[in-house]
Copies of this chain bind each other. A is one copy, B any other.
Amino acid sequence: METVNHDAMRAANMRSIFNCIRAHGPVTKRQIQDLTLLSWGSVSNLCGILLERGVITEQKAQSAGPGRTPSGFDINVEDNLIIGIDVNLIGMTGVVIDLRSRVVTRTRQPIVSHRSGEVLAQMKALICQLLAQVPAGSVRGIAVAFPGQVDAARGISIWTHQFGTFSSVNIRQYLQDAFGMEVILEHDPDCMAYSEHLLGAAQDIDNFIFVRLSLGISMGMMAQGEIYRGKRGVTGELGHMTLVPQGKKCLCGNRGCLETLSSSRAILEQCHLALQQGRAKGLVRRLRGHYETLTLEEAASAAQEGDRDVRRIFSRAAGYAGLAIANAANLIDPGAVVLGGELAEYGDLYVEPLQRSLARRAFGGALPLRIAQVGSDAAALGAASLFIERVFMRLSEGA
């Protein structure tokens, strides 16, 4: 039989009170009640929990005249910092944020090795470095944005083809043991989607998919203002949607995945092929023989300066991405699409052909398309912000 989850309701109310104080603090209990429409009892009770937990502070009543000024609540910004780490194929980004999701400090470094032991060690070193930059005892937790298949409930990286040796690695346990504080693990496109919802291109929408168009391609989804998590944490594998069943072998082991057709890696591979075949004359002139150092920027510049072969490589890749997004949208009807990752920065070369292909195949009229705004901190910042929701807004400590 169906049971009703009172805790879920109370947690939602707590989040509502927290968001109210974050937006309007300092505020009195009466103001919170007016703004959230919650009962006096709920506001008192839940403010009590937040106070006890040190998430909010109470500015005591002033009696500066007749009557009594009631005490006001505000966010306890100083004592509640959170570390967010974004680990991807190219590098690690670390941020420290406060409870208003403002970045206090940040750092970025290239990946030293793709072996799991060394990736974990580098994460640990990065966290130590960030901890040294803020007052001792001010950091309350660590959040990690990770690629591949992530079991967010248990904090485990199930598998990622980006780091060949990662398989069922309990990242949460590893970092909790190392630092003695609470740790959460999240799938990186989910973190980026959350950042865009909190601070970027999707602040006014509760239903959308976020597509990361980069060396790999992945997807995060918000439904009714919440990250959609699926049953086992294997969501958002848009990059491994099979589009050409007998196509090119993908890093995941299957064939003809979207990543083999539309990622920046695929675009560079196709440029190399064109160079080998003596095509892409504009690119040839630009590179002057230094083919091995070809970057996405160089390829894009050649296309923008008129190299039709390279332009066609971009638009073909983007066409497949639009097709895959249409396939996804026709299943889940997301309401809007936010594009992030470096390929989303190439409007005429990539985004426009993507949009044409999407419009041709998406049912139900034009699907609003937006470009991500948060920038390169998005995954780390989103992970740390999700920590606020997942840990600070829990009803009971621990669990």
Contact = CB atoms under 8 A, between A and B. Distances in A.
Contacts of A149: 363-364
Contacts of A229: 333
Given A327-B327, A333-B235, A245 B242 contact: no
Copies in the complex: 2
A142 to B, nearest CB: 25
A94 interface: no
A397 interface: no
A147 interface: no
A218 to B, nearest CB: 10
A230 interface: yes
A345 B242 CA distance: 26
B332 A331 contact: yes
A61 to B, nearest CB: 25
Contacts of A15: 2
Contact of A3 (B36, B241, B320): B36
B37 A242 contact: no
Interface stretch (A16-24, A124-132, A275-283, A378-386): A16-24
A232 B335 contact: yes
Contacts of A238: 331
What 7 pairs across the A-B complex have the smallest Cβ distances? A230-B333, A231-B335, A234-B364, A237-B330, A207-B231, A234-B333, A235-B333
